Amino acid sequence: MICIKAEIPKELNDIDDEQKAIYHSKDTVCFYIFKSRELRNEFVEKTKGMNKSEREEIYKNYE
C-alpha cells in the first residue's frame, strides 16, 4: 500500500465512499462523485481502460 498525505476537504470526506470513484495519473488525483452507488459502478465499468480525458468526457453525462 502507498499512502500520500494530503489535506482532504471535509465536504469530500463526508460523501459516502460508495458514491466516489478515485483515479490518479502521474500528477493528479481525481474524485468523481455520483448520486448513487449504482451510478458509480456503472461509470467504473463503462470507463475501464480509458485515459483521464476520455473518462472526464464520460463523467459529464453523470453531472
Give a yes or no: residue 5 inside a domain: no
Residue 18 in any domain: the answer is yes
Domain membership flag for residue 32: yes
pLDDT at 59 over 90: yes
Q: How many domains does the chain have?
A: 1
Q: Has residue 1 been placed in a domain?
A: no
For residue 33, what is the enclosing H or E element?
Answer: strand 29-33
Q: Is residue 48 part of a domain?
A: yes
Cα(27)–Cα(18) distance, rounded to whole angstroms? 24
Q: What's residue 58's pLDDT?
A: 96
**Per-residue pLDDT, 32:** 96
Q: What is residue 18's predicted lDDT score, i.e. its pLDDT?
A: 96
Residue with cell 482532504: 8
pLDDT tens for 4-50 read: 899 999 999 999 999 999 998 888 899 999 999 999 999 999 999 99
Q: Does residue 49 lie within any of the structural domains?
A: yes
Q: Residue 29 is part of which domain span?
A: 10-59
CA 15-39-28 angle, to 5 degrees, is: 60
pTM, two decimal places: 0.83
Domain-embedded: residue 3: no
DSSP per-residue letters across 2-26: --------HHHHHS-GGGEEEEE-S
